[in-house]
Chain A
Amino acid sequence: MYENYRGLRRCIVTLHAVRRRALFAFALVAAVLSCNVVSHAAVDVGTGIRYVVSTGTLADCSTKAQTALNTYLQTSSETETGSGEWVAYGPNGSRGPSTTVAATVHCYPLTSGYVVTFDCIVELPNNPYNASDLCLDIAHTFSGKPVTPLASPTPPPSGCSTSNLVGTWTSDDRGGPTLTITPDGNLTDGDGVSGNWVLFNSNVTLTYYGNHSLTLAPDGKHMSGGGYHFTRKC
Chain B
Amino acid sequence: MTRTSSYRVTLFALSLLASIALVSARSSAALDMVVGAHVAVPNKTIADCGVRAQAALNSVLQNAIKAGDDGANWLAFGKAGGATQNSAAVIIHCLTTDNGYVATFTCSAEVPPNPVTASDLCTKITAAFGGAS
**Contact surface of A with B, Cβ cutoff 8 Å:** 16, 20, 23-24, 27-28, 30-32, 34-36, 39-45, 47-50, 79, 85, 87, 89, 95-102, 104, 106, 108, 110-111, 115, 117, 119, 121, 123
A127 — nearest CB in chain B belongs to which residue? B31
With A50-B70, A106-B35 as known contacts, state yes or no: A24 contacts B104, CB within 8 Å. no
Q: Return chain B residues, CB-CB under 8 Å to A115.
A: 95-96
With A40-B113, A50-B70, A115-B95 as known contacts, state yes or no: A45 contacts B29, CB within 8 Å. no
With A27-B19, A50-B68, A117-B95 as known contacts, state yes or no: A106 contacts B8, CB within 8 Å. no
User: Which of these, B33, B73, B85, B112, contacts A102 with CB under 8 Å?
Assistant: B33
Q: Considering the chains assembled together, what is the distance between the CA atoms of A47 and B97 in angstroms?
A: 20
Q: Considering the chains assembled together, what is the distance between the CA atoms of A27 and B99 in angstroms?
A: 63
A95 engages B106 (CB within 8 Å): no
Q: Return chain B residues, CB-CB under 8 Å to A100.
A: 31
Across the A-B interface, how many residue pairs have beta carbons closer than 8 Å? 143
Q: Considering the chains assembled together, what is the distance between the CA atoms of A87 and B34 in angstroms?
A: 8
Size of the B side of the interface (Cβ < 8 Å), in residues, is 49
B75 engages A123 (CB within 8 Å): no
Q: Return chain A residues, CB-CB under 8 Å to B108.
A: 43, 45, 102, 121
| 28 CB < 8 A contacts A-B | A24-B11, A31-B15, A31-B19, A32-B23, A35-B20, A40-B113, A42-B85, A42-B87, A43-B85, A43-B86, A43-B108, A47-B106, A48-B67, A48-B69, A50-B95, A85-B35, A85-B38, A89-B33, A96-B30, A97-B28, A102-B108, A104-B106, A108-B38, A108-B97, A108-B102, A121-B33, A121-B89, A121-B108
Q: Considering the chains assembled together, what is the distance between the CA atoms of A49 and B48 in angstroms?
A: 21
A47 engages B86 (CB within 8 Å): no
A121 — nearest CB in chain B belongs to which residue? B108
With A28-B15, A108-B102 as known contacts, state yes or no: A45 contacts B91, CB within 8 Å. yes
With A41-B29, A101-B31, A119-B91 as known contacts, state yes or no: A47 contacts B113, CB within 8 Å. no
